[in-house]
Amino acid sequence: MEPFRLGREALYREFHTKAQGLSAKEAARRLTDFGPNEIESGKKKSYLKAYVRQYVQFFAILLEVAAFLAFIADHYVPGEGNDILGYAIIVAVIINATFTFWQEYKADKAMEALLRLMPTMVTLLREGNTQTIDAKGLVPGDIILLEEGDKIAADAVLTEQTALYINTSALNGESKPSGREIGDKSSATRALDAKNMVFAGTAVVSGSGSAVVIATGQATEFGKIATLTKNVQKTLTPMQKEVIHITHILTLIALAMGVLFFLLGLFSDQGLLMAAIFALSLIVANVPEGLLPTITLSLSLASQRMARRNALIKNLDSVQTLGSVTVICTDKTGTLTRNEMTLKELTLSGGEEVTLSGEGYAIEGEFSFKSSNESSRTRLEELLLAASVNCRAIIEDGNLFGDPTELAIVAAAKKAHIDIVSCKKSSEVPFSSERKMMSTVCVRAGKELLYAKGAAEIIFTRSTHFVDRDGKVRPFDEENRKRLRQRAEVYEEQAYRVLAIAKNSASEEEGLTLLGLVAIMDLPRTEVKEALAQCKAAGIRTMMITGDNPKTAEAIAKKIGLDFDAVLTGPEVALLSEEALENRLKNETLLFARMASNQKLKIATALQNCGEIVAMTGDGVNDAPALKRADIGIAMGNTGTDVAKEAADMILLDDNFNSIVAAIEEGRSVYFNIKKFVTYILSSNVPEIVPYILQFFFKIPMPLSVIQILSIDLGSDMLPGLALGSEKPEKNIMKRPPVGSDEKILDWEVFKRGYFFIGVIEATAAMVAFISFLLLHGWHYGTVELNDPLLHSQAMTMTLLGAVSCQLVNVWTMRSWEFSAWSVGWTSNRLLIGTMAMEFLWIWMLLGFEPVQKVFHTAYIPLNELWILLPFPLLLFVSHELYKWRKRVAKVHQEQPRRRAFL
């Protein structure tokens, strides 16, 4: 038998306790048997291991191998700068690992969020005496005492209660305070639905009571969710998959070219050592050392932009995940709604409808009457006085105390400047779940009056009269009863909580005079409708998942313009097989109500099995497992529990659904920005590789040294690449479909533009600059060894400048993936302007700063000899802009038949 089904005496017998509580000796014994009342935090995170882990990522290993090979090359052929290359690569790896670890460390929570939610002290009975002890000492069988404002430390079954209401939103998503009662009179099939139970991690909103503890620690509903969250496995983010994909392809290319030219070298006159050194040089040239640091820095910059737009990213890889999101599963309370009850609509008993401006518990607002006469304002004030007198909630100096529904009534009374003090209370009959009403007797202007508020059907039954439009008291006949009942039903259909307000000249709850109805709701956020429309335009489905009842969920969805095909409840989802749920999710946009945490987890998993990239929003403890399972978990920063924030990948600092759209926009821009700078970086690989290949097949001096390759990868490419990563979202970014799972950053288009188009132009520029400079200074083809070291250094400098000058122009044309360079504005990227200044400084150092010249084997070249470089940057810019123009034209032609077919 479930404990919540047991009567009081049976409950005492089942848990071997009594009304006076356990003895100290018995409590100590049970503490040994059951353990302390706390949530196991699991293994403490090792930050040393987390830091070391950065060095064993695949791309980091590739760079480390390249450094190792550079040291081997330096050992056998010293003086070529390979040792400097090795050290530089190691420094790049260390910087990247440290930077990535620091970003993750800053966002990590060192303290266990679950422990912070649990109260530290509880009040209970032991051997008939009231004691306050540490919550960890609570054991099954203890009798706990509950008062307004208490955090509940364990699951317990009530034995006594007086108007007890608890806030269960953190546990089950229910937005309204939940009334408790003695004995389970409902048809609950699980403990969470039992009205005679209280739960760990929830809080007492109002009233008082006592209860028998039936579960502590991991055995509580709270603990079960914590265990479920801990056991959920997080899948790889799209960004992590992309880095692995990019690394594998570039590794294969590098190794294939290295092996090929090693074998070719063996069959030539180079010998084993020189063939090996040459192969190693090619491998290093194919590895873009600056790629991983640039990706990390780009993600970091994007996360900082997101933070300015109120979206805090905890894991850098999650930034790009947002660009792939296809479904947003959103909680209702505190996400789509304000998480503040508001008295928004009123109907006076005479029929006048009144709307109140202002939202939440703010005391600013105005009342507007759809139709009124001189007495309407007076009757409205009396209605609000009667309602607020029956409230224990207090709003004082911006501080809130009490039940959210009562706070909404008090706030409305303050907006109407109701003088509650003028009505002196003499007695009250509190609200109870059985009576469904509350009444207060007070003295006003020397007369004793009874004011009552409660459920409409209860107050209607007890009312015999009502106040009409002229302020006269008339019999509450069937016609007027039907009229107001229909009005109450309309409010309820719109997701309002409806209360009826009445008065009596005698201190009795019968023969009441009805004053009117008040309609209270947790209002939708004003900006949500527009955000949902943007999601729809961006090809993103939005599904609401809430603990509220289906009627409330459906009404809120209609108010905010959320499209849905059907409503499913938690029990209905539980009965569906995984396959059946997946089939429905493929073909329908569903609205989920009365959901339990394991069912939300089931939905997230089913959507992922359908190939969707899932963003899950939430704020409660019950949301944590699904937040962790989702591709991108989004917690609320203000109203969210620490547990939800811990499990999430992103935290909305303003709890604003609109911030999700802004974050998705940034996530999409990150995808294309990374695509742009990967193309940009790969473009410079070609002028690094081609000189080695040409030197192998033709009788020419070495056009480029390995250390000069590094100066391109880590010197010339990194800062402009980083500037590309900071580009603002392009104008059509939220009008295209989400980034598909089959869309790769390193795809054929990137290879085509990077290697076979822009790269070829840059390689041509580098080699034409090298050969032309040598020919202009008396070199003859076939001379491999140059007697003049200065001439060789100058020629290699020209090779280097050929690649770098093209890259300076390439970064500008690469700012937009498909639109013209003019469309993005020349001054919109200030970081790029700054990097251009640094690039010219770097070029000056390569040409005229002796310490840099010694390291990178460069030399001064007179300005009048740099004219050789000028045609190629111009050719690159014009040809790439024409290429993008042709792509746009082709895209328009492809879309026209689709539009005609649609029309």
Residues designated catalytic: 331
Cβ neighbours of residue 897 under 8 Å, at least 6 residues apart? none
Rounded Cα gap, residues 680 and 725, in angstroms? 11
Rounded Cα gap, residues 434 and 447, in angstroms? 30
Q: Are 342 and 520 in contact (CB under 8 A)?
A: yes
End-to-end alpha carbon distance in the chain: 63
User: What phi-psi label fits residue 331: left (phi over 0), alpha (psi between -120 and 50 degrees) or beta?
Assistant: beta
With vertex at residue 647, the alpha carbon angle to CA 642 and CA 652, rounded to the nearest 5 degrees, is: 70
Q: Are 690 and 771 in contact (CB under 8 A)?
A: no
Residue 202's CB is within 10 A of a number of other CB atoms, namely 23
**Judging by DSSP bridges, how do beta strands 203-215 and 143-146 pair with one another?**
antiparallel
CA proximity to 337, closest of 664, 590, 639, 662? 639
Burial class (CB in 10 A: 0-12, 13-18, 19+), 209: buried
Helix (H, G, I), strand (E, B) or coil at 722: helix
Q: Supply 427's token pair.
A: 């007695």
Residue 744's CB is within 10 A of a number of other CB atoms, namely 18
Rounded Cα gap, residues 411 and 420, in angstroms? 12
Q: Supply 729's token pair.
A: 């979202």
How does 134-162 read in b/e, with b if 16+ C-beta sit within 10 Å? Answer: ebbbbbbbbbbbbebebbbbbbbbbbebe
Rounded Cα gap, residues 384 and 501, in angstroms? 9
| Residue type, position 392, single letter | R
Q: Supply 340's token pair.
A: 């503040």
Report long-range pairs for 80-84 (Cβ below 8 Å, ≥24 apart).
Answer: 80/705, 80/706, 80/707, 81/705, 81/706, 81/707, 81/855, 81/856, 81/857, 82/706, 82/707, 84/707, 84/710, 84/855
Residue 43's CB is within 10 A of a number of other CB atoms, namely 6
CA proximity to 22, closest of 199, 213, 160, 157? 213
CA proximity to 85, closest of 65, 95, 70? 70
Residue 748's CB is within 10 A of a number of other CB atoms, namely 9
Helix (H, G, I), strand (E, B) or coil at 561: coil
CA proximity to 872, closest of 795, 799, 779? 799
Q: Are 12 and 212 in contact (CB under 8 A)?
A: yes
Helix (H, G, I), strand (E, B) or coil at 75: helix
Name the one residue in this structure whose structure tokens are 């019968």: 510
